[in-house]
Amino acid sequence: MAGSGAAARQLAAERGLFVHALSHGTTSTPTTIAVPPALSLPVIEAAFPRQLHPYWPRLQETTRAWLLEKRLMPADKVEEYADGLCYTDLMAGYYIGAPDQVLQAIADYSAWFFVWDDRHDRDIVHGRPAAWQRLKERLHTALDSPGDHLGHEDPVVAGLADSVRRLYAFMPGRWNARFARHFHAVIEAYDREFRNRTEGVVPTVEEYLELRRLTFAHWIWTDLLEPSAGSELPDAVRKNPAYRKAALLSQEFAAWYNDLCSLPKEIAGHEVHNFGISLITHEGLTLEEAIIEVKRRVEECITEFLDAEQDALRFADGLDDGTVGGKETSAAVRACVGNMRNWFSSVYWFHHESGRYRVDSWDDRSTPPYVNNEAAGEK
């Protein structure tokens, strides 16, 4: 992570040059990033060429301004850390082909999600169950009526309202209702995680994997493929086994690779929610064995996705029945599947570029330097 605003801007400038190169067709990755052997996935580096949306430089600038405007991060934290956290890079590497306004709304929502995740963590660490319950209920309400909460006194509530209202504007009511339903489930999953962490309960492996699909918001990021492709997919298409399997594998990879990379951070923070921690606690694995096992499952996701991707693309081809509607649906599915593939490289490089996982550089390994405890009501 950059240690000062000037350093952060320098890193951003260097990444900007990289993005510029990518926009001209280059698929190389930054040579300055050394991936630790335990986290290295050569198949990603070789078979999943990285792309970034050409809007990325503007996206980064606008999301940084939005975080300030919505008071989601203090000005000094935005100046020193926002660019180095690479939140916009993650989304710009995923939703390729999205209209600029759609990508901007997704990136702001994603940045909000990280801020909300940090708030949830601080409420647990500092023993504030009442504050968390209050926030949880407000988020449920704001999700259903975002227009009524744009000026809410809590920046996290107002930020959700603003980003969701913008996302809803791109899609019809059925999609909005589905997105809301999926995110209501995510909020409740965060509540279960709050209780588990507060009570020191480590979920079993199967319990954890089921809960992780919600806390990582698998179906939210999959839903957002549709506005990026400019088309709401019919239920029969979304629920087709070929499409759904490819979507699930792309998200499982991301969640489990995140667990692999964040394991040191979460052990330092006395976490109980991590694939590796469940393996250590319930399967009797050592730390080293847990790292190997999580990495093995991550690599399995990649292998299985390569097969599922071909099935999903064949399914897309079959949707083109010669009608205008069939051709459009086929193209939309191909765009969504293409971005499922992009998720692999975007997630992979994000974890090695973002300051969010550089625990060894923090003064306190259990307290991220980009969070502001005082702003959350702590002294």
Q: Is 114 annotated as catalytic?
A: yes
Sign of CA dihedral 62, 251, 347, 276: positive
Confirm whether 18 is a catalytic residue: no
Neighbours of 181 (CB within 10 A): 12
Catalytic residue selected from 48, 170, 194, 216: 216
Catalytic residue among 138, 238, 341, 356: 356
Catalytic residue of the set 48, 113, 170, 344: 113
Catalytic residue among 18, 48, 114, 194: 114
Positive or negative, the CA dihedral 97, 47, 84, 217 is positive
Crossing angle of helices 173-199 and 100-125, in 10° steps, is: 20
Cβ-count burial 216-244 (b if 16+ within 10 Å, e if not):
bbbbbbbbbbbbbbbbbbeeebbebebbb
Burial of 332 (0-12, 13-18, 19+ CB in 10 A): buried
Query: What stretches of the chain show up as alpha helix (H) in DSSP?
Result: 5-23, 42-47, 56-69, 75-77, 83-85, 87-92, 100-125, 129-144, 155-170, 173-199, 205-215, 218-223, 225-229, 235-238, 241-268, 275-283, 287-319, 324-353
Determine the length of the chain: 379
Residue whose tokens read 């990444």: 15
Q: Which two tokens stand for residue 285?
A: 């694995």
d(CA 190, CA 205): 17
Q: Is 315 a catalytic residue?
A: no
Q: How far apart are CA 76 and CA 91, in angstroms?
A: 24
Catalytic annotation, residues: 113-114, 216, 356
